[in-house]
Structure 1
């Protein structure tokens, strides 16, 4: 699995396999990030699902939640907050068991918040977005 970690204004693309991490690429970020305590590597291994599904997830929004029907990886996010959608419009592409699945809008409405980003691992029932009808 590959992750992007930002530390002190630098993005590190890190590849993790079997508990071993390797830095693939380093880039500067547009804005500096200041950390009050030094970052440390956890002593116990963290599964990829735990590491990515909890990051950057909006847990509340205006409207009904659009949830993941199965565990997998988000390959594409086709909507953003404020987008008007119709029933059946493709919101996300979810890869599960080597198959690409289209997550569609259940109703006509307005996307009020998007909870996940491209490359995020999700579990069944994770909130992907909020739809106000």
Structure 2
């Protein structure tokens, strides 16, 4: 399951903006214009999602409008629009918790790491007061 995280804003030398205020309805509205035009494949907007659960489902992305900058001619019928690639990078949560007295590096808290990341954890008990490291 994917949850919206953020967007890049309009890219590739375009001027415009991205509005994610209606993201709860599954909609991001964005516009972009480039006075010199373009003649190749370009990335106009990148969207980042967080993976929060593993389920099997299709991701349906669509454009509802695409128009030429000066003439406002509808380009959708003549312009191939590709959704692009979706890369899902699993992340794992590391929770560091101290019960008793001591210190850890990294400090107590929750951390997200990409799959395959090795994390070094240092735990130092407060030996002066009789604490020891258990697990």
Q: TM-score, normalised by structure 1?
A: 0.25
More strand by share: 1
Q: TM-score, normalised by structure 2?
A: 0.24
The structure, 1 or 2, with the larger RCO (C-alpha pairs under 8 Å, 6+ apart) is: 1
